[in-house]
Amino acid sequence: MKTGMGSHQNSSICNDEWLTPQYIIKAFGKFDLDPCASVIRPWDTAKIHYTKKDNGLNKEWSGRVWMNPPYGKNTALWLKKFREHGDGIALIFARTETKMFFDYCWCADALLFIQNRLHFYNVKGVRASMNGGAPSVLIAYGDRNVEALKESNIKGKFLDLRD
């Protein structure tokens, strides 16, 4: 039985619900909304959680958003709505060459490329034995979220993209 998200040696994913490590979320303070929350979660990520049962893409977003969107063909739709909302922090794989990254990430207010690959958690709160299989980046829209990335002490490379 496989217990990780994948790696260069094994990129198969056993489950499409992989949770952000708790220390990442805690580094940024409180969030009002997580539009991509897991139905079953061992810790909260925001005051309000939309799950796949709620379809957060079709709901109104308000306040400061935390988003770890589903990875796959619809990730760009989540990032588009996130950019339009303009207040929050998102976590995605750092696929810097993709159209999606150019459309929704390079135009953000700031980016934090995380040093080392993350180990995500399953819905029972158990850390995956393998890392996520790709580098990750945090994307910030809004001044307070830029400052949160900058002051987070998460190891990596911070880029302030505001003019």
Residue 10 has pLDDT above 70, yes or no: no
| Helix or strand run (H / E) with residue 49 | strand 48-49
Report if residue 137 sits inside a domain: yes
Q: What is the pLDDT of residue 107?
A: 96
- Range(s) of the domain holding residue 93: 22-160
- Mean pLDDT (the chain) is 88
- Residue 73's pLDDT band, with cuts at 50, 70 and 90, is confident
Token pair of 116 as six digits: 């080392």
What is the Cα–Cα distance from 109 to 161, expressed in whole angstroms? 5
| Residue percentage of the chain with pLDDT more than 70 | 90
Residue 11 has pLDDT above 50, yes or no: no
Q: What is the pLDDT of residue 16?
A: 61
Report if residue 121 sits inside a domain: yes
Q: Which residue has the tokens 């796949």?
A: 52
Token pair of 87 as six digits: 């207040």
What is the Cα–Cα distance from 152 to 45, expressed in whole angstroms? 16
Q: What is the pLDDT of residue 71?
A: 82
Residue 6 has pLDDT above 80, yes or no: no
pTM score > 0.85 for this model?
A: yes
Distance from the Cα of residue 116 to its chain's centroid: 15
Residue 12 has pLDDT above 60, yes or no: no
Report if residue 83 sits inside a domain: yes
Report if residue 12 sits inside a domain: no
Closest CA to 20 of 101, 136, 133: 136
**DSSP character for 20?**
P
Residue 13 has pLDDT above 70, yes or no: no
Report if residue 131 sits inside a domain: yes
What is the Cα–Cα distance from 122 to 125, expressed in whole angstroms? 5
Burial class of residue 83 (count of CB atoms within 10 Å of its CB; 0-12, 13-18, 19+): middle
For residues 155 and 73, the model is more confident at 155
Report if residue 76 sits inside a domain: yes
Number of domains the chain is built from: 1
Report if residue 33 sits inside a domain: yes
Can you say whether the dihedral through the CA atoms of 38, 40, 42, 44 is positive or negative? positive
Strand pairing class (33-34; 48-49): parallel
pLDDT in tens, 94-147: 999 999 999 999 999 999 999 999 888 888 888 888 877 788 999 999 999 999
pLDDT in tens, 76-88: 999 999 999 999 9
Report if residue 30 sits inside a domain: yes
